[in-house]
Structure 1
Amino acid sequence: MNQLDQERARKAMIVFRKAQRTIDQQVSNSYKNHGITPTQFNVLEVLYNKGQMKICHLISKIFATSGNMTVVLRNMEKNGWIYRQVDPQDRRASLIGLTPQGESLIKKALPEHLEAVYQTMSILSPQEQDDLITLLKNFKKL
């Protein structure tokens, strides 16, 4: 790889990260307005869409670390948004699910979030969004 290729790759990474930060800033108010952190929102959204699951599956769905997830789940449990119960199939594991309060919260926050995502991504045409999806899926090959 020559220096020009390295510089192009570096610039692509920088532009990608700046775009990601901008997108995050644009959509973050959609859950901050409800007193939810980004990780809490992701937990609520995954549990709402997928149902209760083991902690290890939840961690892999939202790309969190187990140490961070322990704190997040403990706080969410204190807030009454989730419950934790022993998995009857594997007594060593816990299942996490939404309480009625947690379900109510995500039902309020999710439409606002989806609208913020739509508004933010509408800077790209539908074709550009499809192209972006295709391009980003290439990183799955790593």
Structure 2
Amino acid sequence: MQDTPKPQLNSLLPPTSQSLPVSLTRAREAVMAPIRKMLQKAGITEQQWRVLRVLSESGKMETGTLANRAALMSPSLSRIVHSMENAGLVSREADPNDRRRQHIAITGAGQAIINDHMTEASDIAAYYRDILGEKDHDTLVTLLQKLTLRLNEEDHDA
């Protein structure tokens, strides 16, 4: 019979209940649960929803900018855009000045998905604001943006 190792107390690490990565993961899963239900009804993925949201908000854009704003890695975006283009949700065109660059735009069918689920998405967002309160919601978003910015700055400095 194999012995089960005894848990080690490690004073260098916070308990998982106080761990930022674990807390962020738990929060993301809780936040995404109602959104996933909505997206399942829409027949699209979380990543496709983010792409459609960004394009709906900002219009046609270059793939690198879209990847950044939709919080996707460029190789993932390429695969996602390909399937979305095949489904008629986005269109793709080469940059007339630089054929290596591509611009992605939302189509009428893609915008219809946003429009059809706008009320439900808005209700979900309002629910999160209600849970936290306006001030704490805004503070949380600001702190998360600050953390992301600082960590990305450090990645570029390294």
- Normalising by structure 2, we get a TM-score of 0.78
Identity %: 26
Indicate which of 3, 12, 19 corresponds to 1:12: 19
Give the unaligned 5+ runs of structure 2: 1-9, 152-158
In structure 2, what is the equivalent of residue 141 of structure 1? 150
In structure 1, what is the equivalent of residue 7 of structure 2? none
In structure 2, what is the equivalent of residue 57 of structure 1? 65
Indicate which of 55, 76, 95 corresponds to 2:103: 95
* CA RMSD after TM alignment: 2.1
Counterparts in 2 of 1:15-34, with a 5 A limit? 15-34=23-42
Q: Does 2:146 correspond to 1:128?
A: no
> Which runs of at least 4 in structure 1 moved beyond 3 Å after TM superposition?
none
Change (3 A) 1:30 1:121: farther
Change (3 A) 1:15 1:35: same
Higher strand share: 1
> In structure 1, how many angstroms separate the alpha carbons of the residues matched to 2:103 and 2:146?
33
Q: How many residues align?
A: 140
1:34-75: CA deviations, max 9, x gaps? 101000000111001100011111111112122221221111
Tell which structure's C-alpha radius of gyration is larger. Answer: 2
Q: Shift of residue 10 of structure 1?
A: 7.0
Larger displacement relative to structure 2 (49-58 or 115-124): 115-124
